[in-house]
A and B are shown apart, each in its own frame.
Chain A
Amino acid sequence: MLWGKDRAFIFGLLIGLLFPLLASTSINLYQYVIGKFAWAFGGASLGVVFNAIFQDIISKRKNIAEISGYRYSVGSISGTCGAMMGGALSDYGTLRWPYYGVLVLYVVILLLFMIKVHPYLIKKPITASRNKRKIRTNFMGTIKHIFNNPYLFIRIFTEGVTQSHWAMEPILFPLALYSLTHKDISTGFVFGMMGAIAMFMLPLAGRFVDKTSPIRGLLVTYIFYVVSLFLLAFANAFLIFLIGGLLLSIGKTFNGVSIAKIETTHGALAAFITGTLLKFFSFNEVFLIFACYTFIGFALGFIFFKLKER
């Protein structure tokens, strides 16, 4: 690679700084679109590029899944704090204030990275990533590598399914909870509880995956997902829904750390699919569709994994 991941991270985040500046001062849609374009650079830096740097550094450790567990755990607290901070900022100031919050956070991240992480990356060339790079020199090589590696192959199935959950939840949960309780606060309560349980479970799930295997972790995920989604599909009371949500959250923690050990690629059709499905079905029926989809997707993944492993 010509550029180096650290420089790609800094460059992306520097362009990302334009997002809050342009979006908050938008006077027309074009300016907002350019702002969103800059945001994509910041997002890519903090997402894909950051993941690559993080994976390079933890790849030499034995407790990869546990470290990932801590990372996601911190992420889950930060996500909640961020959302609350955004709400508070816009209540206290104007709707522009949350963007200034993003600006401050981006600057802090940049400084932290340049002062504390960048010197370490320069001093210590990472060899693990070079090996990976050799495998992925071209597109067809990457595809071949994924199909030949049983771990990456099972990931195609399970991750397609679990990524769909990320987009399904924010649409379906509030809708279902409101229809059950007729109170908006119930959504906040369920999401809060799910976040709290994930925060504590993530390091434990990580330790489990490190001690056994990511495939064992995915098996636990599978059990929790299927049980919880069927529970959600037939939930007719708030308590059953809450239990279903908590079990789903535990499933997610096992999935997150297992996948962190296997690696990453994404799919984003699920929000559109959920929206479309809701036009024709009730929320219970959509949950049922996701339950069946999860059940079949994971099962196929495991079958193919076993066949490829032989």
Chain B
Amino acid sequence: MAHRVLRRDTKVIIYLILISGLGVMAGSVCYGEKIEHLFSVFL
């Protein structure tokens, strides 16, 4: 039983690591482009 709980924990941890990775990716996708975009729209 304890083993099964641990395995379920591991699965969720893997999904959380994946979400964290996608979060970092989302944060860096328009990292360089944001300023360029701003200039193109407002200047």
A contact residues vs B (CB 8 Å cutoff): 23-24, 26-27, 29, 32, 42-43, 46, 50, 53-54, 57-58, 60-61, 67, 70-71, 74-75, 77-83, 85-87, 89-90, 95-96, 98-99, 101-102, 105-106, 108-109, 112-113, 116-117, 120
Contact = CB atoms under 8 A, between A and B. Distances in A.
14 contacts: A46-B23, A53-B16, A54-B16, A60-B9, A70-B17, A78-B25, A82-B31, A83-B28, A90-B33, A102-B29, A105-B22, A105-B23, A109-B26, A112-B22
A77 B21 CA distance: 8
A295 B38 CA distance: 39
Contacts of A27: 41
Interface in B14-41: 15-34, 36-38, 40-41
> Which 4 pairs of residues, A with B, have the shortest CB-CB distance?
A82-B28, A82-B25, A98-B30, A46-B23
B24 A75 contact: yes
Contacts of B20: 46, 50, 54, 71, 74-75
Contacts, number: 123
Given A53-B16, A74-B18, A86 B23 contact: no
Contacts of B29: 82-83, 85-86, 89, 98, 101-102, 105
A71 B15 CA distance: 10
A75 B28 CA distance: 10
Contacts of A86: 28-33
Nearest to A86: B29
Given A32-B38, A61-B9, A82-B26, A87 B21 contact: no
Bin chain B's interface residue count.
Answer: 20 to 34
Nearest to B38: A32
A57 B16 contact: yes
Nearest to A170: B31
B33 A117 contact: no
B14 to A, nearest CB: 9
B41 A32 contact: yes
Given A57-B16, A67-B13, A117-B16, A106 B41 contact: no
A71 B19 CA distance: 10
Contacts of A82: 24-29, 31
Nearest to A51: B20
Contacts of A75: 20-21, 24
Contacts of B16: 50, 53-54, 57, 71, 117
A109 B13 contact: no
B19 A117 contact: yes
Nearest to A75: B24
A46 B33 contact: no
A80 B30 CA distance: 12
B17 A112 contact: no
A106 B26 CA distance: 7
A303 B16 CA distance: 36
A26 B41 contact: yes
Select the residue from B9, B13, B17, B25 with max chain A CB neighbours within 10 A: B25
